[in-house]
Amino acid sequence: MLVKMFKKMLKILLKRIYFETNSQKFRVLISHINPRLEVFSSNEDQYVSLNYKEKIIWFRVRDGSYIDGILASNVLHSKYLIDIISSLVPKNTIYIDVGSNVGSILIPVAAAAPEVEVYGFEPSPLIFKQLKDSCSANPTLNNIQVHNFGLGSRNTILKFFDVGATNGNRGTSSFLKNHDNINGETIDVQVHTLDDFFVKRSRRVSLIKIDVQGFEFDVLQGACDIIKKDRPYVLFEHEDEYHQNASAKRDLIRGFFEDLNYTIFAVDPDAPSVLRMANLSGYVNSNLIAFPKL
């Protein structure tokens, strides 16, 4: 009897959890009680649950983080991208998420596409720990593999500019030094190419998502063989502000995909179902998606 009363009280208590982010309180609605109740024991971190396509998914969230604040307000971050990716990855294929951050896109996609192998890559040790914790909080998602190293045009060790734990947007860490991470910590990080990592793959790669704060072209160069053979969709971010010669970088990206017989479209977050040809002749600060031509 006492056990039942305790469980009932605990369930009521966990229905509403509050934590402070940048001095603002976000209400977190817990719609599903994780049987591993110890995840709620930390004062610094909390785990929140969200629903995507009738699947309950969990995220570890920390105070003072931009993406975490969105998740804590019971909203999926970049849901329009999650919807696009989920619709373009057929069963028994591979989805690659480069720059996985805390898993805000990777985990919902894995939940919506359980028969797809999902690979995530996050070079920041700090962010990777949070990503790993969130994946562990979803034990039924056995189609996820995450790796703590970078991806680029060659296998090497590179300087990584990590903004650190106190930065409100830790996703601005990058292999490129820029105005977002200039005051951060510099660490050495192992870098591999996608072609080498997936050389023995048994499934076709159906989509590659790349969000690496200006390092996207380097990742693409290391994935030429995959793109030539598997013809995946390539969803990537491009922001002119991260490049000293943005026009030249756009020309490289355009030439790369033209040589591989791809067409680049711009993704409008307000109308993601309507794709328009990307205009790379002027300023670009958006998500782009490259489609293989028939």
Domain ranges of the chain: 1-75, 78-292
The confidence score (pLDDT) of residue 155 equals: 97
Q: How many CB atoms are closer than 10 A to CB 294? A: 5
**Sequential pLDDT tens for the chain (294 residues):** 554 444 444 443 433 333 333 323 333 333 333 333 233 334 456 999 999 999 999 999 988 788 988 999 999 999 999 999 999 999 999 999 999 999 999 999 999 999 999 999 999 998 999 999 999 999 999 999 999 999 999 999 999 888 776 665 666 777 778 777 777 788 899 999 999 999 999 999 999 999 998 999 999 999 999 999 999 999 999 999 988 899 999 999 999 999 999 999 999 999 998 999 999 999 999 999 999 998
> How far apart, in Å, are the Cα atoms of 85 and each of 2, 82, 116?
47, 5, 12
Q: How many CB atoms are closer than 10 A to CB 248? A: 10
The confidence score (pLDDT) of residue 270 equals: 92
Rounded to whole angstroms, the Cα distance separating 266 from 235 reads 10
The confidence score (pLDDT) of residue 41 equals: 34
Identify whether the C-beta of residue 112 lies closer than 8 Å to the C-beta of residue 140: no
The confidence score (pLDDT) of residue 62 equals: 86
Give the domain 78-292 fold.
Rossmann fold (3.40.50)
For the CA atoms of 159, 168, 182, 149, the dihedral, rounded to the nearest 10 degrees, stands at 10
For the CA atoms of 61, 197, 88, 231, the dihedral, rounded to the nearest 10 degrees, stands at 150
